[in-house]
Structure 1
Amino acid sequence: MRTSLQETLQKTGVMVIDGSMSTALEQLGCDLNDSLWTAKALDQQPELVRQVHENYFIAGADCGITCSYQATIPGLMAKGHTLAEAENLITRSVELFLEARELWWQRSGRAEGRAWPLCLGAVGPYGAYLADGSEYRGNYGVSEDVLRDFHRRRMELLWQAGADLLLIETQPSLSEAKVELSIAEELGAEAWVSFSCRDGSRIQEGDRIRDCAAELEQTYPRLRMVGVNCTPPQFVEHLIGEIKAGCHLPVAVYPNSGETYDPGTKTWHGSRDGLAFGDYARRWMRAGANAVGGCCRTVDSHVREVVRARELFEKLG
């Protein structure tokens, strides 16, 4: 039995999303300097993937994202896995989440009266498979048929394995998001789309996010939420307003910590603007965000800040 987003939002008010899989894995000792990135851990250190999920539940996350962002069939096969092995690893990303959720629920979640965490099956963009920073640019120069062939089987595996929603995330391109949402409709799967954005109003390929939200809401009946992730936090407050101006769906935001990614060196650099992540989170809630969490460079301490921000928001606004 799947849990719906609507049920979870009714219980939580603002839903707390988890944080980065990559940074959390690195803190546990994983070396992710590989084209597979976090998908490498599915094969070599699955127990750490399970631990990351449990740590986020303990910190207060009401939902979590599977370790499948960069787990693609062509990417895994290029590293020597058979087709069957690649498909099993994608399925395993959901199974590890479900195992962690059940373990945490039995240990403490149920007794604490917490919400049963939603399992979000992560569907990264084609650009993530390219492993060259293309998820921050889009404009891949491939056909919709190529994108459909690339995405369909993974989405099917994630849904069949028991994900509650398919999280079509870090999308730089409206056209790619539409391909993925059409697949979700074919599968009968509920979905949530999250764009990566270049500024406070436009996704990476340049379309206005309010226009994207409006078109997607009108076209895909199983779309349940629209949002932004992997985006600098200073843009997020305005982006929330833009999405709300374009559609009536709940809005989710889980931006980066504030540092900048260099795809050439695969490193992060720079500093935040001095505002604590929890302070940002409360601003986003005031702006109308229905779900808040973190993406790159955020960990369980950031999730705890979001939980505290929600407490303040509920008490003081």
Structure 2
Amino acid sequence: MSTLVLDGGLSTHLETLGADLRDELWSARLLLEDPALIRRVHTDYFAAGADVAITASYQASIPGFMKRGLDLEQAVRLIARSVELAAQARDEAGGGLVAASVGPYGAYLANGAEYTGDYDLDEDGLVTWHRPRWEILVEAGADLMAVETIPSYPEARALARVLEETPDVKAWISFSCRDGEHINDGTPIREAAALFTGNPQVVAVGANCTAPRHIPGLIESLKGGLPIVVYPNSGETWDPAAHRWQGLTDPVEYGQAAKEWQQAGAAMVGGCCRTTPEHIAQIRAHVS
């Protein structure tokens, strides 16, 4: 089976193109202020060789937009716009898939909980919170859902329930992980992935927004189950004293690593934070 190449860091490329994302809405703010720039990012990733565009809905939510002063109708329209922009870029590229990003509840909180799963909602509350955005993204016509950066087992269970409410929808499930065996709340990734085993709606399970050094172990942990998706970050770390990122991962090195992940068993490979169209071009060159 051929490897599907995902896109890279949407916010990273937006910043490269001059966007200021210092905002609780992060890249979702540009759905309101500069949608053409989001479309350009998708276009650039398709041009670099991506098969899949992940929408700018990771940080988008009805409560988040209404907190900014928009009404319900405006909030719904902006979430749907994220799918439309990716679809326009896909059509311009002549093919590909649009995966609607379903980020964790913690992304809305904007307090770091997206990396811990330390939430103020229980499983039922998470189902209620995720459902409206999910329904909007499905109605907007995304090809599948990219359930990504999920840090905790309770949130994974909640999203499994939401997915089952829309039986015609396909999705991949991607966790943020602390090491080569566990998601960020400490649950073994094999146990978290088992929530989706046997569900024909799920096309892959894996990890994103995770250090590249953990990916081989995670692939090994997931073998024997569903197809595997991996799109780690660049492996850089933030130096608060210098106020800059340290440890740049060269795009060629990233592409070489992607080849290793492919050979280890990954069926879908891409990039997350701090990866660029150059990284995706190198993935395409190495896995094709």
State the TM-score bracket (shorter-chain normalisation): over 0.9
Match of 1:213 in 2: 193
Q: CA deviation at 1:214?
A: 2.3
Q: CA deviation at 1:152?
A: 0.4
Contact kept? 2:236, 2:249, Cα under 8 Å? no
Q: CA deviation at 1:309?
A: 1.1
- Taking the TM superposition and a 5 Å limit, the aligned residue runs for 1:130-145 are 130-145=109-124
Ranges of 4+ aligned residues in structure 1 off by more than 2 Å: 267-270, 272-275
Match of 1:23 in 2: 12
Q: 1:216-244, CA deviations, whole angstroms, 9 ceiling, x for partnerless residues?
A: 214x3412210100000000011011011
Q: CA deviation at 1:268?
A: 5.9
More moved, 30-39 vs 181-190: 181-190
Contact kept? 2:42, 2:86, Cα under 8 Å? yes
Match of 1:179 in 2: 158
Contact kept? 1:168, 1:177, Cα under 8 Å? no
Change (3 A) 1:273 1:302: closer
Contact kept? 2:122, 2:154, Cα under 8 Å? no
RMSD between superposed Cα atoms in Å? 1.8
Give the Cα–Cα distance (whole angstroms) in 1 for the partners of residues 285 and 91 of structure 2: 25
Contact kept? 1:19, 1:296, Cα under 8 Å? yes
Q: CA deviation at 1:181?
A: 2.1
Q: 1:251-286, CA deviations, whole angstroms, 9 ceiling, x for partnerless residues?
A: 010000011358x99x76331577811111111011
For normalisation by structure 1, the TM-score amounts to 0.86
Structure 1: 5+ residue stretches without partners = 1-9, 106-115, 312-317
Match of 2:89 in 1: 100
Q: Does 1:223 align with 2:202?
A: yes
Structure 2: 5+ residue stretches without partners = none
Matched length: 285
What letter matches 1:276 in structure 2?
A: E
Q: CA deviation at 1:300?
A: 0.3
Match of 2:3 in 1: 14
Contact kept? 2:90, 2:97, Cα under 8 Å? no
Q: Does 1:118 align with 2:97?
A: yes
Q: Does 1:256 align with 2:233?
A: yes
Give the Cα–Cα distance (whole angstroms) in 1 for the partners of residues 138 and 259 of structure 2: 32
What letter matches 1:202 in structure 2?
A: H
Match of 2:247 in 1: 271
Change (3 A) 1:131 1:23: same
Match of 1:90 in 2: 79
Q: Does 1:73 align with 2:62?
A: yes
SS in 2 for 1:40: helix
Give the Cα–Cα distance (whole angstroms) in 1 for the partners of residues 12 and 105 of structure 2: 21
Q: CA deviation at 1:69?
A: 0.1
For normalisation by structure 2, the TM-score amounts to 0.94
What letter matches 1:217 in structure 2?
A: T
Given candidates 18, 21, 26, the residue that maps to 1:32 is 21
Give the Cα–Cα distance (whole angstroms) in 1 for the partners of residues 142 and 223 of structure 2: 26
